[in-house]
Amino acid sequence: MDDFLKALEIEGLTSRLKRLSDTMLYETKDLYKSLDLEIEPNWNLIFRLLQAYQELTIMEISERLQLSHPAVIKIVNKMKKTGYILTYSDKSDKRKQILRLSEKAMVKLRDFESIWEVQNAEIGKLLSDCPHFMEELEKVETKLREQNYKQRIINKLNE
């Protein structure tokens, strides 16, 4: 069967990227479930950040990952429910919640890291024919930070 998104070429780009992302996300979720792990695909981002910085606020995590504040809260709340994250109020500003990995997270991290290592190696193999993929992706992301997609289209429509 023909892949209509491929036939659309550049017009199908965003849908193909979404499809690829969804495929990897759902297969990773299924992998974790089959390995009986209490983790979701995007939690590694928070684990890695808190491993590197020990303690961060939601806002700091949001800024470092360049994810929305609500998206980070959603991930963190799930991680708190499984006991991977501990929170406490900032002494100088009680509204701020400081996050850190729990003892349970630190123990489980060893298992998770071995899986992430294999996953990263496999992604490397998938990209082996595209050695500059990550640099090219960075170029696109940089251009979109300079001027977002919506504004680019509006500017062209107004020319």
> For residue 17, is pLDDT > 90?
yes
Q: Which two tokens stand for residue 47?
A: 């684990």
Q: Which two tokens stand for residue 88?
A: 């406490």
**Does residue 133 contact residue 127 with C-beta atoms inside 8 Å?**
yes
- Mean residue pLDDT across the chain: 94
The pLDDT value recorded for residue 99 is 96
Mean pLDDT, range 17-33, rounded to an integer: 96
Q: Within 13 Å, how many C-alpha atoms sit on residue 17's CB side?
A: 6
The pLDDT value recorded for residue 94 is 77
Q: Which of 57, 37, 31 has the alpha carbon at shortest distance from 46?
A: 57
Neighbours of 143 (CB within 10 A): 12
The pLDDT value recorded for residue 1 is 82
> For residue 11, is pLDDT > 90?
yes
Q: Which two tokens stand for residue 122?
A: 């496999």
Residues 6+ apart with CB under 8 A from 72: 46, 58, 61, 62, 65
Q: Which residues on adjacent β-strands are paired with residue 56?
A: 99
Helix 103-126 and helix 13-34, axial crossing angle in degrees, nearest 10: 130
Total-model pTM: 0.85
Tens-digit pLDDT profile for residues 26-81: 999 999 999 999 999 999 999 999 999 999 999 999 999 999 999 999 999 999 99
Tens-digit pLDDT profile for residues 101-127: 999 999 999 999 999 999 999 999 999
**Does residue 76 contact residue 57 with C-beta atoms inside 8 Å?**
no
Name the band, by pLDDT with cuts 50, 70 and 90, for residue 132.
Answer: very high
